[in-house]
Structures are given as C-alpha cells and as structure tokens.
Amino acid sequence: DSGVTQTPKHLITATGQRVTLRCSPRSGDLSVYWYQQSLDQGLQFLIQYYNGEERAKGNILERFSAQQFPDLHSELNLSSLELGDSALYFCASSPSVGETQYFGPGTRLLVL
Amino acid sequence: AQSVAQPEDQVNVAEGNPLTVKCTYSVSGNPYLFWYVQYPNRGLQFLLKYITGDNLVKGSYGFEAEFNKSQTSFHLKKPSALVSDSALYFCAVRDIGGTYKYIFGTGTRLKVLA
C-alpha cells in the first residue's frame, strides 16, 4: 500500500458525460501527478500540481481539467467523454517536485 | 527528448532461474531512472531508482538494477525468480527541466513458470 488513495475504483459511464476522479496523496506529500494508462498509448503523463498550483501539463486534452485543493487532495475532471477515454487513471504523489513518485491503485474508467 | 525503451514485450523465465528485464534510455544530461512493477488490478509499485553513485542499485523484493552509462541501459535483475514476481514491469526516466514528470517505457510482462 503506497498511501495514495483514489476513488472511485471503477466508473462506468456513457459518452458525452462528465466524471470526477479523486486522489488523496500520501501524508505530507505536496506534489500530485495524474497519468493515463491505456492499451494503445501506455502510461502517459497528464498534469502535475504542487501545493495547490499547476506545475506542468502533459498530454492532457482540453476536455480534461484538474485541481489541487488546500488540503492537498486533487481531482481530475473529464468531460464530454468519448469511447477512447476509457482507461486506467493513476494519481501519484511525492514529497516535493522531482522526488520519487508513489502511485495510487488507479480508477478504471469505462465509457460506453 | 528523453525516452526509455523496453525492447521485450514479454519475458518468460523458470522459477529459481535468474531474470533480466531490459531497459535502454536516451537522455540529455544525467539520467534519473526508475523501475516500477504493476500487479494485476493494482497500481504501480516503486522498486528502485538510480540517481547517482554506485552503478548497481538494490531495491525491493530482491530486485536490483545495473546502470550502464556506455550502453545507456538500466536492466532490472533478480538472481532467483519467484512465481509471485510475474507482473508488468515499467522502466521510467524523469524528465529534465521543470516538469519532473516520468516518461515510461511500454512495459515488459514477466512470466515466471513453476
């Protein structure tokens, strides 16, 4: 158990819908990263937050957004969902930027 | 651009035999390299990392990795494989500059046969 928690574990929704994935980092970790794991794209970095501020963006679609709250938990919002958004979404945290990242168990999203 | 390559989609090894999972990297500057393992329906678990120092890095569950600068490789090894080691293994390099994001390889599925 890495200490990073993610909810929900599974999510099934329809195209066009909007969902919110939640991540709680390890105690004391200020940095949160979001990754998408799909069969054809592998593990792709989406976005990073540090102490509430966006730090870096990767291959994140405009339909996706995220934020980190004052209590350091983070949410990833996915809207206008498409079939291709079906994937595992992982959150990782680290004490500060550049330190070893520890991953949560992931949220499996299925868009029908 | 930083990148890692895992040339083998799958590695099969008999229980008790040594195992190697290969990773090569391409970076500008000094690499920060990592190995993670993913068991079915689980998140990625950190195994070990190389930042600087000794080329042989020891990690969790008896795994180790050898950093080879001349061959730009960071192969994961274990002297004696267990059936429970069967999983998906990812090599990653930390991006340079301000993002510190990880760039992952495509993963290698290790199957240890009893």
Q: Is pLDDT of A59 > 70?
A: yes
The angle at the Cα of A63, spanning A26 to A75, to the nearest 5 degrees, equals 20
Distance of alpha carbon B15 from its chain centroid, rounded? 19
Q: Kind and range of the H or E element at B73?
A: strand B73-78
> What is residue B102's predicted lDDT score, i.e. its pLDDT?
86
Per-residue pLDDT averaged across A59-72, rounded?
Answer: 95
- Interchain CB distance below 8 Å, A100 and B46: yes
Interface test with A, best of B99, B103, B104, B109 (most A CBs within 10 A): B99
Give dist(CA B31, CA B72) in Å, integer. 9
Q: In terms of CA atoms, which chain A residue is nearest residue B95?
A: A98
Contact B19, B78 (CB under 8 A): yes
> What is residue B4's predicted lDDT score, i.e. its pLDDT?
93
Give dist(CA B51, CA A100) in Å, integer. 11
Give dist(CA A72, CA A1) in Å, integer. 19
Low-confidence ranges of chain B (pLDDT < 50): none
Confidence label for A112 from pLDDT (cuts 50, 70 and 90): very high
Q: In terms of CA atoms, which chain B residue is nearest residue A5?
A: B43
Name, in order, each residue with C-beta under 8 angstroms of A65's C-beta and a sequence gap of 6 or more: A76, A77, A79
Residues of A in contact with B34 (CB under 8 A): 100
Distance from CA of B46 to the nearest CA of A (A): 7
- Interchain CB distance below 8 Å, B101 and A45: yes
- Interchain CB distance below 8 Å, B101 and A102: no
Q: In terms of CA atoms, which chain B residue is nearest residue A99?
A: B100
- Interchain CB distance below 8 Å, B42 and A102: no
Residue with token string 């730090």? A55
Give dist(CA A67, CA B63) in Å, integer. 36
Give dist(CA A99, CA B3) in Å, integer. 19
The angle at the Cα of A42, spanning A41 to A46, to the nearest 5 degrees, equals 80
Q: What is the pLDDT of residues A5-54, one digit of tens each?
A: 999 999 999 999 999 999 999 999 999 999 999 877 788 999 999 999 99
